[in-house]
Amino acid sequence: MKNSLHTIGVIAVLSVLISACSSTPPTTSGTGTGQLTQGDDFSKHLQVDNPDLATKLLITDVKSRKTNQLLEVNLQLTSTYEKSLQLQYHFNWFDAQGFVIESRKTPWKPVELHGMQTTALRGLAPSEAVATFSVYVREVPKKAYKF
């Protein structure tokens, strides 16, 4: 009886210690350094037209700040696919009413994601009027087409 009470006591103490170490990290609101917390949904920032590719990608973190009155974004794009992906991306910028800002159209940039890899994508808004963004990702065709 004494050993079983001792064992239960040890298990209770260990479970309290383990749960205390797994606290949720702090978050910030608005611009600044946000951290991923359970329930955050960054999918609103990701635009992928290929349904198969969309199941292989997700944004796991977004940080933003104002630099010289321009919105600067740093996001983590993560592959949930076990093989390499040859991709291109560009940022779309929107004003506070949701209209596209086209003062300087951003070019497509190449990025390769190896199996289950995460990479940082950085963008700087072309105008002070930018309030939000999305990142458009597409797969690079594996074969060239002749017309």
Domain ranges of the chain: 27-139
The predicted pLDDT at position 11 comes to 46
Give the model confidence (pLDDT) of 118-140 as tens digits. Answer: 999 999 999 999 999 999 999 99
CATH architecture of the domain covering 27-139: Sandwich (2.60)
pLDDT of residue 147: 65
Average pLDDT of the segment spanning 29-41 = 41
Q: How far is CA 97 from CA 3, 113, 124, 129, in A?
A: 67, 33, 19, 10
Chain segment 41-97, per-residue pLDDT in tens: 799 999 999 999 999 999 999 999 999 999 999 999 999 999 999 999 999 999 999
| Average pLDDT score over the chain | 78
Secondary structure of 9-53 in the HEC alphabet? HHHHHHHHHHHHHCCCCCCCCCCECCCCCCCCCCHHHEECCCHHH
Q: What pLDDT band is residue 105 in, cutting at 50, 70 and 90? A: confident
Q: Read off the pTM.
A: 0.68
For 5, the 3-state DSSP assignment is helix
pLDDT band at 106 (very low <50, low <70, confident <90, very high): confident
Higher pLDDT, 28 or 3: 3
